[in-house]
């Protein structure tokens, strides 16, 4: 079975949206043991905020799919920068 990196990202983001133990859920996405970006989900607004570390940027999405695509892009660019 081929494992899709995008599917793994989607599952992690979906788990954030489904968790009702607090208003904020946060996940860090890493490559080669280095943090590439962090996503925070705010339950009350339904918004995902992505903080990218290199280059520094912060983006807000109201779509799980768009957030997953941006996380994938951040990881892809980081991995291909070597």
Contacts 24+ apart (CB under 8 A), 62-65: 64/10, 64/13, 64/14, 64/17, 65/10
Query: What would the pLDDT profile of 6-45 be if each residue is shown by its tens digit?
Result: 999 999 999 999 998 999 999 999 999 999 999 999 999 9
CA angle 9, 7, 22 (to 5 degrees): 40
Distance CA 2, CA 23 (A): 34
38: which strand partners? 28, 51
User: For 11-20, how does the pLDDT look when each residue is reduced to its tens digit (9 = 90+)?
Assistant: 999 999 999 8
Q: Which CATH architecture has domain 5-65?
A: 2-Layer Sandwich (3.30)
Indicate the pTM of the whole model: 0.93
């Amino acid at each position: 079975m081929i494992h899709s990196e995008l599917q793994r990202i989607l599952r992690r983001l979906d788990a954030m949206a489904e968790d009702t133990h607090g208003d904020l859920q946060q996940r860090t996405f890493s490559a080669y043991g280095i943090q590439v970006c962090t996503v925070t989900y705010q339950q009350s607004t339904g918004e995902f905020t992505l903080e990218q570390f290199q280059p520094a940027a912060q983006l807000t999405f109201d779509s799980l799919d768009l957030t997953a695509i941006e996380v994938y892009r951040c990881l892809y660019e980081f991995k291909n920068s070597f």
